[in-house]
């Protein structure tokens, strides 16, 4: 199975970059499934239901979220009716929405997609290791699902690596989001799970993690309440990675980064 995962879509720049490129990428890379993190898609903060639908309409199959999940409050009332939108698994019991979803492709193959948040330098939440393992006990890779992808929305690379090792051999891909900075550590772990610490953002990199740099820099320099952060509006680099999995084992055969447009160096999977 050929899966593309794109990191945090930030504002209009990120949305435009993804919607302009995705239809052609789907064809060119013969993608079976496209997953995007869209916690910053609505003007940098949250995801409106309308933008969620627009992304689905241009070739996105599953949307994951993170600490900005509820910045757009209109999603809270609608998320239970959106089975392809996944919020972090380790939010408190009773939180609207779901922490994972199973997608069925047109040919019947099934994919589990999980969103879970780290706890280092983040809000205190339930244990991402234990909760993910409990979930995976109900979805067996290569048996009930042909592939499984875990989006680890976390600040610290160490926590992401640790979760990668704990899940190695149990899922197809563990990929980080949230730092908005793509890492060059994509690899297949010892037991067959593809891994990358962070997918990077889909947004304008002439910025501070997607936000206009003047106001974002002023916050660090002046230590005074400043103007509200606004997304940078230059051309996005669409950032993520592609993985090819074996349908029998559910494990990864190949993984490669994808970076297109904007100011980062380009990268395109060649399998
Ligand atoms: Fe983000
Ligand atoms: Fe985040």
pLDDT tens string 21-70? 999 999 999 999 999 999 999 999 999 999 999 999 999 999 999 999 99
pLDDT tens string 96-151? 999 999 999 999 999 999 999 999 999 999 999 999 999 999 999 999 999 999 99
* 74 and 49 Cβ atoms separated by less than 8 Å: yes
Q: Which residues are catalytic?
A: 68
Q: What pLDDT sits at residue 227?
A: 83
Label residue 183 exposed, middle or buried (CB < 10 Å: 0-12, 13-18, 19+).
middle
Best CA proximity match to 36, nearest among 253, 240, 187: 240
Nearest ligand by distance to the CA of 203: 1
Q: What pLDDT sits at residue 30?
A: 98
Nearest ligand by distance to the CA of 67: 2
* 88 and 65 Cβ atoms separated by less than 8 Å: yes
Nearest ligand by distance to the CA of 36: 1
pTM, full prediction: 0.98
Using the mean position of ligand 2's atoms as its centre, give its distance from the Cα of residue 108 in Å.
32
* 156 and 120 Cβ atoms separated by less than 8 Å: yes
Q: How far apart are CA 112 and CA 153, in angstroms?
A: 17
Using the mean position of ligand 1's atoms as its centre, give its distance from the Cα of residue 91 in Å.
17
Indicate if the pLDDT at residue 223 is higher than 90.
Answer: no
Using the mean position of ligand 1's atoms as its centre, give its distance from the Cα of residue 118 in Å.
13
Using the mean position of ligand 1's atoms as its centre, give its distance from the Cα of residue 141 in Å.
28
Computed over every residue of the chain, the mean pLDDT equals 97
């Amino acid at each position: 199975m050929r899966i593309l995962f794109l990191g945090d879509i930030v504002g209009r720049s990120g949305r435009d970059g993804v919607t302009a490129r995705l239809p052609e990428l789907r064809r060119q890379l013969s993608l079976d499934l496209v997953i995007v993190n869209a916690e910053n898609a609505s003007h940098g903060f949250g995801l409106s239901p309308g933008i969620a639908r627009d992304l689905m309409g241009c070739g996105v199959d599953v949307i994951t979220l993170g600490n900005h999940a509820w910045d757009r409050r209109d999603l809270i009332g609608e998320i239970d009716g959106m089975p392809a939108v996944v919020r972090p698994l380790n939010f408190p019991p009773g939180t609207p929405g779901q922490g994972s979803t199973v997608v069925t492709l047109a040919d019947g193959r099934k994919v589990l997609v999980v969103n879970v948040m780290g706890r280092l330098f983040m809000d205190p939440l339930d244990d991402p290791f234990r909760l993910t393992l409990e979930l995976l006990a109900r979805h067996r890779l290569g048996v009930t699902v042909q592939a499984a992808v875990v989006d680890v929305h976390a600040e610290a690379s160490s926590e992401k690596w640790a979760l990668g090792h704990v899940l190695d051999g149990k899922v197809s891909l563990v990929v980080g989001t949230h730092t908005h900075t793509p890492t060059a550590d994509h690899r297949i772990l010892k037991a067959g799970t593809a891994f990358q610490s962070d997918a990077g953002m889909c947004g304008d990199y002439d910025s501070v993690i997607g936000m206009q740099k003047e106001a974002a820099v002023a916050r660090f320099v002046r230590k005074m309440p400043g103007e509200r952060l606004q997304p940078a509006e230059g051309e996005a680099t669409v950032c993520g990675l592609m993985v090819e999995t074996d349908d029998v084992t559910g494990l990864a055969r190949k993984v490669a980064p994808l970076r297109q447009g904007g100011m980062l160096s380009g990268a395109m999977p060649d399998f």
